[in-house]
Amino acid sequence: MDTLDLFRLDGRTAIVTGGGRGLGRYMAEALSDAGANVVLCSRKKEPLEEVRDEIEARGRRALALECDVTRGEDVERVVSTAVETFGNVEVLVNNSGATWGAPPDEMPPEKFDRVIAVNVRGTFLMSQAVGRCMIERGSGGTVINVASIAALVGGNPDYMQTVGYNASKGAVISMTRDLATSWAKHDITVNAIAPGWFPTRMSGGLIERFEERMLSDIPLGRFGNPEDLKGVVVFLASPAAAYITGQTIVVDGGATAW
């Protein structure tokens, strides 16, 4: 096999949660560019349809499905529709996420619970449903969880007070390791990506207010861009990463290297 062919995803199908905006959109586009059929899902369907139309305009195949990842029935419907349409699911990218900003002593418990529900329960439910499908088919697969550098360091109180988000992403990294060891016998790899600061709808407000301060915390001196993430997700989804599991790849411009 030619080395570059190791990164091809032709004939494979990938589900990308939260695929209508931000990091999810970048990753969905990258997987499609590498040859995968892409199933986009999130609570709001309109942004998904825009991404789907762009992918189809490039000659690729995509679906846009409404889904609340905290609801088991929604998750099962997305997975069954993906299988009915494309025959199987070989790749899952758990990207859907939520956050809420407040100092720990002022964090509303209901907001903390909602963040945990989306980021932890949602990641688990989708992984469980897709994992069962992969196990039943017996041909392996790949799960990629989107964590964050917030899982690895404390939030900077000058501009990031998100204890629920940080805790949830730590749980995602721990879940990644457990699923990796549990499903290795089924030839299913499970890894995580921990992005640093990328301009998205979720991070845009903070970046607008604290850009100079935030950039001073990044050794490379810039925020991430789509290309910084696209190659990583294609690598982890492809045969090139077949011997990597239970790992977290940090994509942060060196922010956690200080």
Positions marked catalytic: 165
CB 247 within 8 A of CB 179: no
By three-state DSSP, how is residue 154 classified? Answer: coil
Alpha carbons 181 and 156: distance in angstroms, whole number? 33
Q: Which residues pair with 63 in a beta bridge?
A: 39
Alpha carbons 171 and 178: distance in angstroms, whole number? 11
CB 208 within 8 A of CB 199: no
Distances (CA, A) of 28 to 46, 110, 153, 234: 16, 31, 28, 10
